Structure 1
Amino acid sequence: MSQPFDRAATCSAPVAPDLELGEFWEEDPWTIAFRHNLSGFERNRTFLNLGNRQFADISYLTGSDTEGDGRSVVPADFRCNGQMDLLVRQVGGGPLLLFENHFPKQGYLKVSLRGSKSNSLGIGSRLTAILGDQSFVRELYPSNTFHSQEASLVHFGLGTRDTVDKLIVRWPSGTIHEITTLVGNRHILIDEATGTIETVQPGITIPAVRGE
């Protein structure tokens, strides 16, 4: 039985265990893990990237240090405000947990792709955003988490900036697009065939074009 989503969870036996056969049933799975399994009482953790390969444990401060067996984590902008929230699913049951991002709002750029020679969503593309002397790389692989899937777009945090000096898109087909002085704080759609850029309004479904 997997770890439950809290210590109060119990599960009654469907039938009485046969003691002569050595059967037994433990209604509280936490008891099994007590003093025997280090992960039995392990709390979930959230780390904040401080830069320079340093991270701060903000689990307690954010309330994300739940006791559930959180294995599936999806970052997404659920409130369409440019800030990435976190959706967590427990393996052992329990409700979905949505942690809203309440950090001070900063600049961002969301990018969706429409492929032609490549696949319709540009899966496998490599995007590089250049901001001054810094480069940030994202690869579009939405199916990259355990039992969960992210949206088929990439998100760049821009900090205090509101523009991207250069955005380089390398498509699976080998096509390369370079876009300079790109205005941020919006969601854009880049077309592989034409290289054109459209601004996507919140709530709008992006029509895809099938790859050749």
Structure 2
Amino acid sequence: FPFPFPSSWTGDTSATPYNVIYLNEGNAQFTNILDHPLTLEDSHTAQLFDQDNDGDLDVLLTRYSWSFGGYNNLFVNEGNNNSWIVLTCEGTISNRSAIGARVQAKAFVNGAHTTQTREITPINGHLTWANFRVHFGLGDAEVIDTLIIRWPSGIVDTYFDVKSNRFYKAIENLNLAFLCPSGGISFTTQEQIDNFPIDNPDCVEIAGNVVISGSNITNLDGLLQIEVFGGNLEIYGNDVLPNLSGLNSVSSIGGDFKVLNNPVLVDFSGLGLLNSTGGSFQITNNAELDNMNSLSGLSPLASIAGNLWISQNPNLSSLSGLDGIDAGSIDSLFIHENESLTTCHVASICNFLDLGGYADIYDNASGCNSQIEVDAACPVKINEIITGTHFEIYPNPASGVAHLRYSISDIRYSIFELYSIWGIKVKTLLHEEQQPGEYELSIDVSDLPDGIYFIRMQSGDTQATGKLVVIH
């Protein structure tokens, strides 16, 4: 593959203001590649390493502070279909970083028997650091026939038939262990799902992003051992996947969790241990999510650290199952175009609306067709209930006249005030001394705009607040 490096001196003290790249032809010959983006600017060292853990080498070019403002350049390799392995070596008798170890890979690559050699060193070049991981590009090879590690201690470890496209860890004089994939994983067939525990017997945590999308994926049982997805998890376009059984051990998702365009997904059973996501949670266009229990598999979910997005699920009737999400963990709320959705007033949603968070709710069924309707269905909260005080608002929602019924147990000076959702006082409803007894106060709301209002009562030393929804 191309190996870029900066050229050396042009004078006594100045470095060459351009890069050069030489292509290794594999026959002890190199070709100078002149027209390449990596040669357009100057730098001092090129570091090749797999910065995004996708199996190919990326390039970091470093500079002095006076060169191009001191900025470094990272060139990300978009990859191809070539095979590879990445190996981390750990010394036991030798130094732990395996500095000085020499690794050889023998494989049949692109029609030829090939031997590649790498040495782990503490230096790489000027203004950079050493990359202790060993990378081999393998072309079309599916296995390395022989992998030999010569440790500084003199120990030689040899491994045969090492599968390509894997991350490995070699421990001196012990074993070669397959590491969990670090990310960029796409499951597109049932066979890939089924083979995962065979190829990855000890893998319980996948550090990076995972996509599950395939026309023949019927179950996720091959992922039963996974406990943590460290990045995003996207499950979309699975034509015959009825539930999420197989994710039973997953306790957390480090990034976004998206479940989109799965036409026969009936429910979320299989997520009985999922406690948190580190990003947004989106459920969109899953036509068969259809009953009160469809989301019940999500009941342990307590935190999402992002947006909650429920949209275009035509048969979904209830958000029960999302009750346990901490409202403070929701950034914004989007509930729209769920034409059968009538029950949105679960605890997490009601608490989020009470906190005044941003919500976009529309084109759902009656009862969940707007923020006002959801607020109206949420329980009317009384922040403080004092013995001897009873406070009830009806009808709620109201359109013409609302009634406020209450009782007091002794002589008190009572004040009732109406406030907008923004905390602005709209009017004083009552301000007088009252005898013990039961009372009913009529409130004309016919001239009030649709919206959410709060009635604040102060009776003697006690206070209470109730919510009133006005819909004309």
Letter in 1 for 2:83: G
Between the aligned partners of 1:105 and 1:51, the Cα distance in structure 2 is 20
Between the aligned partners of 1:59 and 1:79, the Cα distance in structure 2 is 27
In structure 1, the partner of 2:20 is 45
Q: 1:83 aligns with which of 47, 51, 56?
A: 56
TM-score for both structures, normalised by structure 1: 0.70
Between the aligned partners of 1:58 and 1:67, the Cα distance in structure 2 is 14
In structure 2, the partner of 1:101 is 77
In structure 2, the partner of 1:157 is 137
Residues 164 and 180 in structure 1, CA contact (< 8 A), matched pair in contact too: yes
Count of residues paired in the alignment: 167
Q: Does 1:143 align with 2:123?
A: yes
TM-superposed CA distance for 1:90, in Å, is 1.5
Residues 108 and 185 in structure 1, CA contact (< 8 A), matched pair in contact too: yes
Residues 138 and 40 (structure 1 numbering): CA distance in 2 closer, same or farther, change over 3 Å?
Answer: closer
TM-superposed CA distance for 1:57, in Å, is 3.1
Letter in 1 for 2:30: F
In structure 2, the partner of 1:125 is 101
TM-superposed CA distance for 1:84, in Å, is 0.6
Residues 189 and 200 in structure 1, CA contact (< 8 A), matched pair in contact too: no
Relative to structure 2, which stretch is displaced further, 103-112 or 115-124?
Answer: 103-112
Between the aligned partners of 1:40 and 1:134, the Cα distance in structure 2 is 36
TM-superposed CA distance for 1:140, in Å, is 0.8
Between the aligned partners of 2:47 and 2:25, the Cα distance in structure 1 is 21
TM-score for both structures, normalised by structure 2: 0.33
Q: Does 1:168 align with 2:142?
A: no
Relative to structure 2, which stretch is displaced further, 193-202 or 72-81?
Answer: 193-202
Quick one: percent identity of the two aligned structures?
Answer: 28
Letter in 1 for 2:37: G
Between the aligned partners of 1:96 and 1:105, the Cα distance in structure 2 is 28
Q: Does 1:64 align with 2:43?
A: no
Residues 106 and 116 in structure 2, CA contact (< 8 A), matched pair in contact too: yes
Between the aligned partners of 1:40 and 1:168, the Cα distance in structure 2 is 39
Between the aligned partners of 1:99 and 1:74, the Cα distance in structure 2 is 10
TM-superposed CA distance for 1:40, in Å, is 7.3
Q: Does 1:178 align with 2:153?
A: no
Long gaps (5+) in structure 2: 1-9, 184-206, 208-472
For residues 175-195 of structure 1, the C-alpha deviation after alignment (integer angstroms, 9 at most, x for no partner) is: 111100000111100111422
Between the aligned partners of 1:184 and 1:152, the Cα distance in structure 2 is 19
For residues 10-47 of structure 1, the C-alpha deviation after alignment (integer angstroms, 9 at most, x for no partner) is: xxxxxxxxxxxxxxxxxxxxxxx9xx99x777421122
For residues 148-178 of structure 1, the C-alpha deviation after alignment (integer angstroms, 9 at most, x for no partner) is: 1132111111011121000011111111111
Between the aligned partners of 2:33 and 2:162, the Cα distance in structure 1 is 33
Residues 106 and 144 in structure 2, CA contact (< 8 A), matched pair in contact too: yes
Between the aligned partners of 2:34 and 2:52, the Cα distance in structure 1 is 22
Between the aligned partners of 1:144 and 1:58, the Cα distance in structure 2 is 22
Q: Does 1:114 align with 2:85?
A: no
Between the aligned partners of 1:115 and 1:199, the Cα distance in structure 2 is 17
Residues 143 and 49 (structure 1 numbering): CA distance in 2 closer, same or farther, change over 3 Å?
Answer: same
Between the aligned partners of 1:192 and 1:118, the Cα distance in structure 2 is 8
Residues 157 and 173 in structure 2, CA contact (< 8 A), matched pair in contact too: no
Between the aligned partners of 1:174 and 1:40, the Cα distance in structure 2 is 40
Greater RCO (Cα-Cα under 8 Å, separation 6 or more): 1
Relative to structure 2, which stretch is displaced further, 42-51 or 74-83?
Answer: 42-51
For residues 129-150 of structure 1, the C-alpha deviation after alignment (integer angstroms, 9 at most, x for no partner) is: 1114321111111423112113
Letter in 1 for 2:149: V
Long gaps (5+) in structure 1: 1-32, 205-212
For residues 71-123 of structure 1, the C-alpha deviation after alignment (integer angstroms, 9 at most, x for no partner) is: 12110112221111110012233311112224633111111111111111211
